Structures are given as structure tokens and as C-alpha cells.
Amino acid sequence: MLTQDMVREALSQVTDPELHYDIVSLNMVRDIHIEEGMVTVDVALTVQGCPLHQKIETDVQKVVHALPGVDQVAVHLHVMNDEERRTAFARAFQKSQAERGGTSSGPHGSPMQTASQQWSPLLSENSSTIVLGIASGKGGVGKSTVTANLAIGLSRLGYRVGIMDMDIYGYSQGRMLGAHEPARANQAQKVIPWHVHNIHVVSMSMFVPENQAVVWRGPMLGKMMQQFFTDVAWPPLDYLLIDLPPGTGDVALDVAQRLPQALLVIVTTPQIVAREVAMRTADVARRAHQRILGVIENMSYVPMPEGQRLTLFGTGGGESLSRALDVPLFGQVPLESSVREGSDGGIPVILSAPDSEAAQTFMQIAQKIDAAAHA
Ligand SMILES: Nc1ncnc2c1ncn2[C@@H]1O[C@H](COP(=O)(O)OP(=O)(O)O)[C@@H](O)[C@H]1O
Ligand SMILES: [Mg+2]
């Protein structure tokens, strides 16, 4: 007599080609219906129009057909909601961590439990820390400047804030925030984040002398990133801002897959070409099912003495990007020398020149982001 358990058991041989984990563990199998020799299986895909759905469908057909007494198999495909998808990604991620870490399943529990225990509480499924990934299509648009000022802005709103400088090719948070000491470890051999301007910061420059080129590829980055989470003594945080590497490519995708819960803020300049490049970054994020919270346009205009705005880099990039992505434009940051001076001098403009137009804009953006992240 064919039972649902038998079918479920068989289905656990089918892996999601993207997440490399079986569809039962990922909670993708929603319903199993058996009527005589006819078996109907409802499968929830992680994403609408998943290009790999055909593979899943064929594999489901195959394993169920192989069961005794099955004549016909129907597969119905659905799509997960955001919450379900996040859980599925978190599970697949924990599994991959367990495998990487070589924590074999012993008598004391499954590898998944072991991994989640080792994993930083910051990343656990029920962590209340809001992770904001600050992304851009290309370098030089002010992503790091925005990250530093937003972090301080959020801390001025009363939050406990951290920055993870994951732009391993172009890390600059140390310089921007005026922190230069090499990494120090506590007794548990965890790295103590810098504590500057009331925020907690971890950056590559704690480990590598400044200006030394770092040439790393995806797998190394993954390892580093894992260490930034697991081997750092992070205090409890309300917000963790991640200064992401610019662009798309392996690195961005890797980050996206590791942090499906991160909310992305995309920084662009007003140029329409910049918008195109940023759009591709957004595409990658969407494919990895990350939520894009909104857009910040930087270097929008030079404020003139009479109050006019000199639009040095054109106009419309931020507006049109936010419209295309159907997310808010959080603000337009003017191009002001005080911003660059702040970044170069280790005291971001929001602190060094709080009355400047740029500083005020950063503060407003921090408030809007805070509202959006809690909405
Ligand atoms: N709004 C701004 N006004 C003036 N200078 C800016 C502004 N935003 C960024 N900069 C300067 O532009 C340069 C690039 O900014 P940065 O934040 O390092 O970009 P990214 O991280 O995207 O590569 C830095 O020298 C920074 O000080
Ligand atoms: Mg940068």
C-alpha cells in the first residue's frame, strides 16, 4: 500500500539544483495526494519562473514513478512567499556551512544544528539585527561614503550599529572612520571590532596593510565573509551595514546567497549610464531573492551660493532607477567638498560638518531607511 511517507521519502532524493539541498528538507514539498495509482505532488519553487523548474519536475516524476504501484504522476508547481523563501535559503546556507566546516554529524545532533550553533547569532534565523547591504553598480559612486554616514546617522537615531567592510578589493572604512589599528583578539580568539564614532567596524584593513591589493575570488571571499561573522566578537546590534563590493559577478552573487535576509540599498549617481549599471546589480540581487529597500542618488548636484543646484553629472539616474525597481528614492546627496574631506580625514561629514546640506541629507536618508526597514 503506497503511503504519503513513502512518496516523501522518495522525494528526498530530489535536490534543488540551485540550493543543492533536497526539496523535502527545504520544505518545497507542500502536498502529496494519492488516489489509486495516481500521485499528485505539489511543489513550491523558490522563485517564479525558476529556470530550473523543469529539472525539479522531471526528477520528481522519476523518483515517484519508480515507487511500486504508481501509474501516473502529476506535479503542480507553486511559488514560495518571501518568508518561506528566506527560511529555505537559510536552511540551505546552514547546510553548506556545516559541510564546509567539516562538522560531521555526530551522536550529539545533526550537522545543521552544529552549524547554527557555531554561526554568529547575528545571522541566525531569529536574529533581530537588520542587515543592510549597501551596493552599487560600479566603484567610485560613493558607496563607502554613504555606508559610513548612514551608519553614524542610524546610531544618532539611538541604534546600535555595526559596519562590515566587505569590499575586499577596495576596503576603505578604516580610512573613512579614522581607524587604523590592526586586528586584536579577545580571550576567545575572536576579533574585536573597532569602536569608532559609536559604531562597531570590521574591515579587511585590520588584517592587510592599507593600499595592498587583495586579489581574491569567490570561494576565498566566502571564507572571509564567514569569518567576519563567526570569528568576530560582534556586540548585539540593531543594524549591520555591509559595504559590498561593487558590481555584479561572482562576488556579489556569493554575498547575496549568503545573506538572503539582507535588505539592499543601491547607490547610484545621476548619470543614466550609471543607472544602467546599477540596474544589473539589482537584477543579481533579485535573482538571489534579496529585497531591495531603495535607492540613494549620490553626487546629485553642487549647491550654489544662491541656492541653485549645479547638476554636474546630469540628472534623473536615481529617480529612474527607483521607478524601474519600484522602490523609494531615499534621497539625493549633494556633491560637496566637506563630504570628501570628511571621508579622507576619518570623520564623516555627518559628524564633521553636521550643518552641511550633505550631512542633513544623510540624516534624512537614515530616518527614511529606518522607517522602511521597520515597515
Ligand atoms: N557627495 C559627495 N561629495 C563629494 N565627494 C564625495 C561624495 N561622495 C563620495 N565622494 C568622494 O568620492 C570618492 C569615492 O567615494 P567612495 O565612497 O570611496 O566610493 P565607492 O565606495 O563607491 O568606491 C571619495 O573620495 C569620496 O570622498
Ligand atoms: Mg568603497
Secondary-structure breakdown of the chain: helix, strand, coil percentages, each rounded to the nearest 5: 40, 20, 40
Q: How many residues does the chain have?
A: 375
Contact 123, 162 (CB under 8 A): no
List Cβ neighbours of 135 (8 Å cut-off, separation of 6 or more). 143, 244, 246, 252, 264, 265, 266, 267, 281, 285
Contact 17, 56 (CB under 8 A): yes
Cα of 143 to ligand 1 centre, how many Å?
Answer: 7
Residue 358 beta carbon below 6 angstroms from any ligand 1 atom: yes
pLDDT at 112 (0 to 100): 32
C-alpha torsion 200→140→265→170, nearest 10: -40
Residue type at position 326? D
Would you identify the CATH topology of the domain 4-80?
Answer: GMP Synthetase; Chain A, domain 3 (3.30.300)
In DSSP terms, which residues pair with 41 in a beta bridge? 32, 75
Residues of the chain falling short of pLDDT 50? 102-119
Ligand minimally distant from the alpha carbon of residue 135: 1
Cα of 210 to ligand 1 centre, how many Å?
Answer: 18
Would you identify the CATH topology of the domain 121-374?
Answer: Rossmann fold (3.40.50)
Ligand minimally distant from the alpha carbon of residue 337: 1
pLDDT in tens, 213-259: 555 555 566 677 777 888 888 888 999 999 988 876 555 566 666 77
Nearest CA to ligand 1 atom 23: 140
List Cβ neighbours of 226 (8 Å cut-off, separation of 6 or more). 97, 100, 258
Nearest CA to ligand 1 atom 12: 142
Domain boundaries, given as residue ranges, for the chain: 4-80, 85-118, 121-374
pLDDT in tens, 1-46: 899 999 999 999 999 877 778 999 888 999 999 998 999 999 998 7
List Cβ neighbours of 308 (8 Å cut-off, separation of 6 or more). none
Nearest CA to ligand 1 atom 15: 142
Ligand minimally distant from the alpha carbon of residue 138: 1
